[in-house]
Chains A and B, each alone.
Chain A
Amino acid sequence: MIIEIGAFCLILSLILSVAQVGLSVIGRVRRSAVFYGAGEGAAGAAFLMVLIGFAALMYAFITSDFSVANVAANSHSAKPMLYKVAGVWGSHEGSMLLWCLALTGFGAIVALMARGLPAAMKSVVVASQGSLGVLFLAYTVFASNPFMRLLQPPVEGRSLNPLLQDPALAFHPPFLYGGYVGFSIVFSFAIAALIEGRVDAAWARWVRPWSLAAWSLLTVGITLGAFWAYYELGWGGWWFWDPVENASFMPWLIGTALLHSAVVTEKRGALPGWTVFLALGSFTFSMLGAFLVRSGVLTSVHAFAVDPERGILLLTILGLAAGTGFGLFAWRAPKLAPGGLFAPISREGALVINNLILSAATVTVLLGTLYPLIKEALTGQSLSVGTPYFNLTFAPLMALAFLVLPIGPLLSWKRGDGLGALQRLWAAAGLAMAVGLLVLWIQKPTHAAAAVGMGLGVWLIIGVVVEIAERIHLGRASLAEVRRRLGGLPRGAWGMSLAHAGLGVFTLGACFETAYKIEAAQALTINQSLAVGTYQVQLSDVVAANGPNYIAERGLVTVTKNGKPVCEAKPERRFYPANSQTTSEVALCLEGLDDVYLVLGERRVGSESQPAWLVRAYWNPLARLIFLGPLLMALGGAVSISDRRLRFAAPRRAAEAGPVAVPAE
Chain B
Amino acid sequence: MKGLGLLGWLLVAVLSMGAAADPSERLADPAMEARAKALFPEIRCMVCQNESIDDSQADLAVDLRKIVREEVAAGRSDTEVRTYLVQRYGEYVMLKPAFSLTNAALWVTPFAIVFLGLLAFFGLKRSSPDQGQETALTSEEQALLRKLRASEVE
Contacts and interface: CB of A to CB of B under 8 A. Distances in A.
Interface of A: 233, 235, 237, 240, 242-243, 299-301, 303, 341, 343-344, 349, 352-353, 356-357, 359-361, 363-364, 367-368, 371, 375, 379, 381-389, 392-394, 397, 400, 438-439, 442-443, 446, 516, 518-523, 531-534, 614, 616, 618-619, 621, 664
Contacts of A614: 22
Contacts of B41: 387-388
B146 interface: no
B55 interface: yes
Given A299-B50, A388-B42, A533 B13 contact: yes
A218 to B, nearest CB: 22
B107 interface: yes
Contacts of B13: 516, 518, 533, 619, 621
Nearest to B112: A360
B140 interface: no
Interface in B84-116: 90-97, 102-103, 105-107, 109-111, 113-114
Given A299-B49, A301-B51, A397 B110 contact: yes
B44 A363 contact: no
A299 B113 CA distance: 28
Contacts of B9: 621
Nearest to B117: A356
A111 B102 CA distance: 51
Contact of A360 (B42, B117, B125): B117
Interface residues of B, number: 55
B96 A533 contact: no
A383 B50 contact: no
Contacts of A367: 105-106, 109-110
A664 B125 CA distance: 31
Contact of B23 (A368, A371, A393, A523): A523
The 9 closest A-B pairs by CB, nearest first: A519-B20, A386-B95, A388-B96, A360-B113, A364-B110, A356-B117, A383-B91, A516-B13, A344-B125
Contacts of A385: 95, 97, 106
Contact of A381 (B14, B55, B91, B106): B91
User: Quick one: which of A389, A397, A614, A621 has the most chain B CB within 10 A?
Assistant: A389
Contacts of A300: 49-50
A356 B14 contact: no
Contact of B7 (A352, A438, A519, A533): A438
A521 B21 contact: yes
Nearest to A355: B117
A432 to B, nearest CB: 14
Given A386-B44, A388-B41, A443 B14 contact: yes
Given A300-B50, A367-B110, A523 B118 contact: no
A110 to B, nearest CB: 34
Contacts of B92: 382-384
Interface string B117-142: 11001100110101001000000000
Contacts, number: 153
B114 A357 contact: yes
A63 to B, nearest CB: 33
B16 interface: yes
23 contacts: A240-B50, A242-B50, A301-B51, A344-B126, A349-B125, A352-B121, A356-B121, A360-B113, A364-B109, A371-B105, A381-B90, A382-B91, A383-B97, A384-B44, A384-B95, A388-B96, A389-B96, A393-B107, A443-B14, A518-B13, A534-B16, A621-B9, A664-B152
Contacts of A240: 50-51, 55
A361 B97 contact: no
Contacts of A383: 91-92, 94, 97, 103
A531 to B, nearest CB: 8
B118 A353 contact: yes
B24 interface: yes
Contact of B114 (A388, A397, A616): A397
A370 B117 CA distance: 23
Interface of B: 7, 9-14, 16-24, 38, 41-42, 44, 48-52, 54-55, 90-97, 102-103, 105-107, 109-111, 113-114, 117-118, 121-122, 125-126, 128, 130, 133, 152
A155 B11 CA distance: 60
A443 B48 CA distance: 33
A382 B44 contact: no
A532 B126 CA distance: 58
B110 A442 contact: no
Contacts of A442: 7, 10-11, 14
B90 A382 contact: yes
Contact of B97 (A352, A356, A389, A618): A389
A242 to B, nearest CB: 5
Contacts of B121: 344, 349, 352-353, 356
Contacts of B94: 383-384
Nearest to A443: B14
Contacts of A364: 109-110
A361 B133 CA distance: 35
Contact of A533 (B12, B24, B55, B107): B12
Contacts of A243: 50
Nearest to A442: B10
A522 B12 CA distance: 21
Given A300-B50, A384-B92, A384-B93, A361 B110 contact: yes
Contacts of A439: 10
A303 B49 CA distance: 8
B71 to A, nearest CB: 19
Contacts of B126: 344
B110 to A, nearest CB: 4
A619 B22 CA distance: 16
Contacts of B16: 518, 531, 533-534
A303 B20 CA distance: 28
Contacts of A520: 18-20
A618 B55 CA distance: 13
B17 A360 contact: no
B80 to A, nearest CB: 18
A226 to B, nearest CB: 15
A532 B95 contact: no
A379 B105 CA distance: 14
A363 B95 contact: no
Contacts of B114: 356-357, 360, 397, 400
Contacts of A375: 102
B117 A343 contact: no
Contact of A518 (B18, B54, B93): B18
Contacts of B22: 521, 614
A387 B52 contact: yes
Contacts of A384: 44, 91-95, 97
A621 B16 CA distance: 13
B50 A235 contact: no
